[in-house]
Structures are given as structure tokens and as C-alpha cells.
Structure 1
Amino acid sequence: MEYQVGQPGRIIVARFNDGDDVLGGLETIARRENLRAACFSMVGGIRKGGYVVGPETEAMPPVPVWRELTESHEATGFGTIFWHGDQPKVHFHGAYAKHDCVRAGCLRRDSEAFLVLEVVITEILGVDATRELDQESGMVLLRLASKR
């Protein structure tokens, strides 16, 4: 286990309107506001999105199992934003519900808000964290710089 201790910085409240690109919008906010490290909570509606529900097996590198949201769902979840090189990378796990069907997974592509989606972002100050390519998994994962 590795960890660092930081403190909260700015709080950003964002409203995504019907049809807005959620993942792209979060990356835009991170760039405009120079958010180098942040966490966020999300609540509202999502109409579309490709999400991963786990690897096919435990073998490395993992082969993702994809699912698609193709109509409106209630959505809630938690995510982080850390940079990989010169790009902010969003990592979000959420639950998506329609009627009595509830799904959960890591939203990774084609995200589109339904009606309204609210996001509260908390900047994290005082940590040295980035995303870097992990050779074994082939994924871009969180890396904490050594602090003494």
C-alpha cells in the first residue's frame, strides 16, 4: 500500500445538461481549472455510455468486459481525476438504474447526460499523483511519487 496526505482545495459544482458529454466535460473542467488531482461525486441522469464490468479472467493483461447504456438511467457514483502526461484522465465507477434493473461499472466512453447530471468536484492539494502506463496490465494506473 502507498499513500499520501493532502488537503481539499477548490470545490467546483458542475451541471451537465441533456446530451452533454460527461467524461469529456470533466476533462475540459480539469484542463481549464488546472486540476492536477481531484475527486468527484456524480448524481443525476445518464442516457448513453460504455462501461466495463470487470475482466474476463484474472490473467494479465486483463481483457475488459464491456456493457452499453442505450437509454436513460439514474446514475450515481464516485471518481477521480489525475493526469497522464499532458492529459487529465477521469476514473469513474457508478451505478446505473432503470426501473428495477441496477447495473454498476467503470464508465469509459460515449457518456451522455440525460436531462440533468450534477457533479461536485473537490480539488486535492499537496499530493504528487499521476497516472502512468503499467506494463503488466497495459492500463494507465495511479502512481504516487515517493515522499519522505
Structure 2
Amino acid sequence: MQYSEASIGRIFILRLENGDQIPGTIEKFAKDKQIGSATVLFIGGADKDSKVVVGPEDGSAKDPIPQVNELIGVSEAVGVGTIFVNEDEIPKLHLHSAFGRDGETVTGCTREGIDIWHIGEVIILELINSSAQRRIDPATGFELLEV
């Protein structure tokens, strides 16, 4: 385990609107506001055909291929994640969310693109005085959090 200590800085409340996309909208906001580290809470609606990464097709493969599901209809959504800058000092969102519709739930990473359906509410709690950063891990190729 690795760890880093931080303090809470600014708190932002965002109302995403119909057609806004996660992660792009949140990452652009973080860049514009110079947010280097944060925790993110999300609740709202996700439009049909939004894409969710639900895990690798083969978790034992040397280069796992992500499995991507498209939402088959408008879905209720709730998620939690983090923002940390990468090696290029660009804020990157890592948000996992659960999407529900008609008794079915899909849970996964939003990195392939979630389109907001009418409204998305996001709370960003900025973390300050931390050295945590996303860096490419040579063994996996993943952009992992280093603290």
C-alpha cells in the first residue's frame, strides 16, 4: 500500500446538462479551474448508447482488452471517482458508476463516454497539498495513481 495525505480545498457543484459528456466535461472543468487532485461524486441520468467499460475480456492476458457495454436505454446513474493530473499535468478523471434501468444494472468505468440525459449533478472536492499523480506503469501500460 502507498499513501499520501491531503487537505480539502475548494468545493465545486456542477450541473451537467443534456448532451454533456463524462469524462470530457469534468476534465475540461478541472483543467479550467486548475484542479490537480479531487474526489468526485456523480448522480443523474445517462443517455442510451453511452459506453461503460465493464472489465477486461480476459483478466489473465498480458495485454487485457477492455470489454465495453453500451447502455440500451436511458438509465439512472450514481458514481464516485477521482481526478489526478497525469505526467503531462492534464487532469484525468477515473469515475466508476452504476447505471440502472428496468431492474437491470451495469457498473463500470465511464472513460469511454457517458452522455448526460437531461441532468447530471457533480460535486468536486478539491484535494490540496498532495503529490499524488497518474503515471504510466511500464508493466501494465495503465495510467496508475502514484502517491
TM-score (norm: length of structure 2): 0.92
Cα contact 1:79–1:93 (8 A) shared by 2 = yes
Q: CA deviation at 1:22?
A: 2.4
Q: Distance in 2 between matches of 1:76 and 1:41?
A: 8
Q: How does 1:1-148 map to 2 (within 5 A)?
A: 1-47=1-47, 48-55=49-56, 56-84=58-86, 85-144=88-147
Q: Any stretches of 5+ residues in structure 2 without a counterpart?
A: none
More strand by share: 1
Q: Distance in 1 between matches of 2:78 and 2:121?
A: 9
Q: How many residues align?
A: 144
Q: Distance in 1 between matches of 2:13 and 2:136?
A: 30
Cα contact 2:79–2:96 (8 A) shared by 1 = yes
Q: Any stretches of 5+ residues in structure 1 without a counterpart?
A: none
Cα contact 1:60–1:136 (8 A) shared by 2 = no
What one-letter code is carried by the residue in structure 1 that aligns with 2:63?
P
CA deviation string 1:111-132 (max 9, x = no partner): 2100101000000011101111
Q: CA RMSD in A?
A: 1.2
Q: Distance in 2 between matches of 1:63 and 1:22?
A: 21
